[in-house]
A and B are shown apart, each in its own frame.
Chain A
Amino acid sequence: MNQQELFVQVLGAIAVASPVVLLAVLGLTQLLNRPLSELWIVRLNQLGVVLSLFATTLVLAVMLITGERNLPIEFGNWVTIPEQAFHFHLKFVFDRLSIPFMMLSCVLCGVVGEFTRRYLHREEGFARFFLFYAIFFDGMVWSSLAGTIETLFVGWEMVGLSSALLIAYFHDRESPVRNGQRVWVIYRLSDAALLIAAITMHHMVGEGDFGGLMNSSIWPDGSVSVSSSQALLVGALLLIGAAGKSALFPFSGWLPRAMEGPTPSSAIFYGALSVHLGAYLLLRLSPLLEASVALQGLVLGLGAVSAVSGALMSRVQNDVKTSLAFASLTQVGIIVVEIGLGLRYLALIHIMGHAILRTMQLLRAPTLIRDYQDLENKIGTPLSPNSGTALGWLPKPFQRWCFRFGYERGFMDTVLQRWLVDPFVRTFRWCEGWEQLITSSLSRSEKADSEINHANAANDSPSDLPTAA
């Protein structure tokens, strides 16, 4: 290894390790009940973000100077069983796709971190917010730089967990918690599809390395060495994973629910980074899409439907954060269409521009009325209300249907609830009923189980401790 390679390896290690160290410090201090002051938390967060960004920028400079387009950072096998050809390869890649996304993540995490410093100043959950935020930052760095699908999955899971926990940040109220749970359900199910895709990919090409799948080509070039049907299978599974993470149709119902979290987390998750992670995954594996026309059609269709439904929904919402969230969905849908059409650079530029704009809009959302008043003061006249929309030429009944479709958020929650959740719950409650019946008949107990529980609770409850619930 020459000096330049060593230099890049060290920089890569710093970029990946600094969020991990940040998370370890914040996590351990909370677990050991040694809380840090707000100032220390903020300083550590700044240090973690700046180190990652600085290292990535230097890697970019090296790449520009040397003309390299792909710099892998190898940490070797985290786990390996050589005889079974099983390995969990820790590999990160700096290339034309990962560097912009990584820098975007660092910049926006830094900006939102600074915003949060004041926004949540002296809040009880300040440290908790930054702990979850560190998990998110870690997840974004791992997902952005992942060179193998296993590494990407690790980051993907961390983003999902932090997202659900931050939505439930105001956890002394029921509504944010329920919404956090709802988002977690969608994430878990779509993550299951991603995991199955990863395993299937392993079986197809014998490894989870993106480079191996793309015949060692460098992004955005590359072709996959799998058959059309295999590409369709893996691609469809990846598409489910991406749709769950990016709130594409039919999973868009969780997007307004996610707005229950504090504004900074809404901005960074659902305006900027997390919502684009699905598109990023499709972009990373875009050569796979070209292997199957059916898969390309699926991507295009999904993107188009998501964009149209997002546009309809964003126009009829009655709160600004939800409206912005659906506007984000529209743009993500368009980005997915661009990926489906093979316009990879355009999609990447679109992601970056959209993420920055939407973060700014969401961070300004709490002061929107004041901003409007400032604007009116400066121009000296009231702003004219939006007089008409492009849908004005459509027949009235169709307009009404569009309104209802948008207002009811595409009926997606209702459909999922009626056709998926309710049958599931009914089936297993029925099983539960049978189990209770068999148990009570076998034990010949005159008491119902609930009574037994109650009696046990009375036996177990200590006399010297309060019953708080």
Chain B
Amino acid sequence: MPELHFPWIECSILLPLVGAAWVWMLRDRERALTHAIFFCLATLLLTLGECADFLWMETFEAHDHWAFFRWVIPPDVLVIDELSAFQLPLASLIHLVVVSSTLRTKTRTFSLESTLVSQSLLLAIFSCRASWALVALLIVSTIPPYMELRRRRQCTRIYCLHMATFAALLLVGYGWLSIADRSGSSVLVPGAMLTVAALLRSGVFPLHLWMTDVFNKASLGTAILNTTPLVGAYAVMRLVLPIAPSWALQSIAVLSLVTAVYAAAMALIQVDARRMFCFLLLSQSSLVLVGLELVTPIGLTGALCLWLSVAMSMTGFGITLRSVEARLSRISLASFHGLYSQMPILAGFFLLTGLASIGFPATVGFVGMELLIEGAVEVYPLVGTLVVVATALCGITVLQTYFRIFTGVDNRSSISMKARPAERFAVLLLTLLLLGGGLYPQPGISSRYHAAKELTRIRGEISGKSPTPVTTVAQQEGLNPET
């Protein structure tokens, strides 16, 4: 396997851990916040370097050069490939903007140490190719939110119940799979277990209650960091996609599609802004899952593009909501708050990220959404149109929320509520990426299509079949006039 020119992967995983230890030693929380931002920024630069180095090599996968832990970790465990190359900087970016937009008053309730540990775990998950290590990391990554719930003295039963099931299914499924004969039908049951585990982590209906619970009880920052990188989707890509037959995946896609519509409709009737955000994210992440499970090159490309778009835009949407919450406390959508005159930049950014999350034209998600709809309609000519319905409902929710929070009454305070420089930095960084990716989408689309093709090829090799295009339901039924 080709080697990167620097041990980017291990450095990017270790640095947040060192940062967590460093921040923990600092007594002054304001300084701790500044240092945490520095560590997040340095990690982002490392992952960007990793991504650039990988792209420069023009290969499908690569691992670290001069790895420090070669004597402990086998060389093929931490690997960067076309799927993870963009996820790693994205995960770092999400952490950077969340940490940098944290108000000083929030450092008591938002644990910086725990956030840096979570970042390290997330980067390790996205860099991990070996299934056993991935299973272990996925299970360990459920601990930081649990710790925060405990710290906040909230009931953890729902979270524990779901995550214990997730861990059990992962362990049993993976254990069973490793002793089963992969060529026969004996992989179906362990495959189903792994699928349910991944769907549970993604919050697919009706296994989504843990997500609403986390949004309700944890700090909004932790909830955002734990959900927007779409770790569940990554688990589907690594653990389920290589082994599951196409018919099974395409059947699960219908479940994800139902979740997308259900969550979009639920988001529309919420009166609590956090729950609204949770359902909106659930709907969008389910659409990503739909694309992944279609296993057609177009659907996969759309899903991979949408993945980046949803992660960025929903993080932006979330941090704006968090900034508003930090000034006003929990936001009720039952009444109007009229905050536009006090925070016009945050209002504009809220609208922009909301529109980006639904794939509005000229934002990064637009082409990804088009591809996804195309892929869904190709496989399921009628059911596939539900993607459009889900997007329409999400669009209604976004503007409704914008109106509720920023308009409706004349609300003026004597104290400035405008965005702080750190918040403005986070906002502008994401705006640049959302609009830049939307106006010049070709490089991103080409890269994601290449990744989709390689993933399809690997899937074909693992299942012992040639990587021929997947026969869609529409083609089987002769409904597609193009066939």
Residue of A whose beta carbon sits closest to that of B362: A154
**Distance of A446 from chain B, by nearest CB (Å):** 10
B186 at the interface (CB under 8 A from A): no
The reply to whether B105 and A464 form a contact with Cβ atoms under 8 Å apart is yes
A466 at the interface (CB under 8 A from B): yes
**Distance of B355 from chain A, by nearest CB (Å):** 7
A221 at the interface (CB under 8 A from B): no
The reply to whether B213 and A203 form a contact with Cβ atoms under 8 Å apart is no
**Distance of B474 from chain A, by nearest CB (Å):** 9
**Distance of A88 from chain B, by nearest CB (Å):** 6
A374 at the interface (CB under 8 A from B): no
A189 at the interface (CB under 8 A from B): yes
A425 at the interface (CB under 8 A from B): yes
Q: Which of A31, A124, A153, A180 has the most CB of B within 10 A?
A: A31
CA distance A442 to B482 in the complex (A): 50
The reply to whether B217 and A172 form a contact with Cβ atoms under 8 Å apart is no
Residue of B whose beta carbon sits closest to that of A154: B361
Chain B residues, Cβ within 8 Å of A463: 105
The reply to whether B399 and A203 form a contact with Cβ atoms under 8 Å apart is no
Given contacts A177-B403, A203-B480, A428-B268, contact A468 B360 (CB under 8 A): no
Q: CB within 8 Å of B: which of A119-154?
A: 124, 150, 153-154
Chain B residues, Cβ within 8 Å of A438: 209
Chain A residues, Cβ within 8 Å of B453: 83
Tally A-B pairs: CB < 8 A: 201
The reply to whether B415 and A460 form a contact with Cβ atoms under 8 Å apart is no
Chain B residues, Cβ within 8 Å of A435: 209, 212
A460's contact among B109, B155, B399, by CB below 8 Å, is which? Answer: B109
CA distance A439 to B212 in the complex (A): 9
A443 at the interface (CB under 8 A from B): yes
The reply to whether A81 and B301 form a contact with Cβ atoms under 8 Å apart is yes
The reply to whether B370 and A150 form a contact with Cβ atoms under 8 Å apart is yes
0/1 interface trace, chain B 439-483, chain A, CB 8 Å (1 if under) = 001100110010001000000000000000000000000001110
Residue of A whose beta carbon sits closest to that of B325: A460
Chain A residues, Cβ within 8 Å of B243: none
B330's contact among A196, A202, A460, A466, by CB below 8 Å, is which? Answer: A460
0/1 interface trace, chain A 436-461, chain B, CB 8 Å (1 if under) = 00110011110001001110111111
CA distance A463 to B269 in the complex (A): 31
**Distance of B430 from chain A, by nearest CB (Å):** 12
Given contacts A154-B361, A465-B326, contact A86 B338 (CB under 8 A): no
The reply to whether A424 and B265 form a contact with Cβ atoms under 8 Å apart is yes
The reply to whether B109 and A31 form a contact with Cβ atoms under 8 Å apart is no
The reply to whether A468 and B400 form a contact with Cβ atoms under 8 Å apart is no
CA distance A453 to B332 in the complex (A): 10
Residue of A whose beta carbon sits closest to that of B337: A469
B13 at the interface (CB under 8 A from A): no
Do most interface residues of chain A lie in helix, strand or loop, or is the interface mixed?
helix
The reply to whether B361 and A153 form a contact with Cβ atoms under 8 Å apart is yes
B388's contact among A192, A454, A456, by CB below 8 Å, is which? Answer: A192
CA distance A459 to B148 in the complex (A): 14
Residue of A whose beta carbon sits closest to that of B415: A466
Chain A residues, Cβ within 8 Å of B446: 81
**Distance of A361 from chain B, by nearest CB (Å):** 29
0/1 interface trace, chain B 335-349, chain A, CB 8 Å (1 if under) = 111111110110011
The reply to whether A30 and B348 form a contact with Cβ atoms under 8 Å apart is yes
0/1 interface trace, chain A 40-56, chain B, CB 8 Å (1 if under) = 00000000000000000
A366 at the interface (CB under 8 A from B): no
The reply to whether A164 and B336 form a contact with Cβ atoms under 8 Å apart is no
Interface residue total, chain A, C-beta cutoff 8 A: 75
B389 at the interface (CB under 8 A from A): yes
The reply to whether B348 and A172 form a contact with Cβ atoms under 8 Å apart is no
**Is the interface on chain B under 10, 10 to 19, 20 to 34, or 35 or more residues?**
35 or more
Chain A residues, Cβ within 8 Å of B331: 469
Which of B14-22, B229-237, B404-412 contacts the other chain? B404-412
The reply to whether B403 and A203 form a contact with Cβ atoms under 8 Å apart is no
The reply to whether A468 and B409 form a contact with Cβ atoms under 8 Å apart is no
The reply to whether A168 and B407 form a contact with Cβ atoms under 8 Å apart is yes
Chain A residues, Cβ within 8 Å of B395: 184, 188
**Distance of B83 from chain A, by nearest CB (Å):** 17
B41 at the interface (CB under 8 A from A): no
Given contacts A88-B367, A174-B409, A181-B399, contact A432 B266 (CB under 8 A): yes
Q: CB within 8 Å of A: which of B382-412?
A: 385, 388-389, 391-393, 395-396, 399-400, 403, 406-412
Which of B69-77, B128-136, B371-379 contacts the other chain? B371-379
Chain A residues, Cβ within 8 Å of B388: 192, 195-196, 199
**Distance of A345 from chain B, by nearest CB (Å):** 31
B272 at the interface (CB under 8 A from A): yes
Q: Which of B219, B355, B361, B431 has the most CB of A within 10 A?
A: B361
**Distance of A84 from chain B, by nearest CB (Å):** 5
Chain B residues, Cβ within 8 Å of A445: 155
A199's contact among B212, B266, B373, B408, by CB below 8 Å, is which? Answer: B373
Q: Which of A32, A203, A424 has the most CB of B within 10 A?
A: A203
**Distance of A233 from chain B, by nearest CB (Å):** 11
B103 at the interface (CB under 8 A from A): yes
In the complex, besides A31-B348, A84-B297, 11 extra interface pairs with C-beta distance below 8 angstroms are: A79-B441, A81-B446, A84-B298, A86-B371, A150-B370, A171-B403, A181-B399, A185-B396, A199-B388, A452-B217, A465-B415
14 A-B pairs within 8 Å (CB atoms) are namely A157-B360, A168-B407, A181-B403, A428-B265, A428-B266, A432-B266, A439-B209, A456-B217, A458-B329, A459-B152, A460-B109, A465-B105, A465-B417, A466-B327
Chain B positions near chain A (C-beta within 8 angstroms): 103, 105-106, 109, 152, 154-155, 157-158, 161, 209, 212-213, 216-217, 219, 262, 265-266, 268-270, 272, 297-298, 301, 325-331, 335-342, 344-345, 348-349, 355, 360-362, 367, 370-371, 373-374, 377-378, 381, 385, 388-389, 391-393, 395-396, 399-400, 403, 406-415, 417, 424, 428, 431, 441-442, 445-446, 449, 453, 480-482
Chain A positions near chain B (C-beta within 8 angstroms): 30-33, 78-81, 83-84, 86, 88, 124, 150, 153-154, 157-158, 161, 164, 168, 171-174, 177-178, 180-181, 184-185, 188-189, 191-192, 195-196, 199-200, 202-204, 206, 230, 424-425, 428-429, 431-432, 435, 438-439, 442-445, 449, 452-454, 456-469
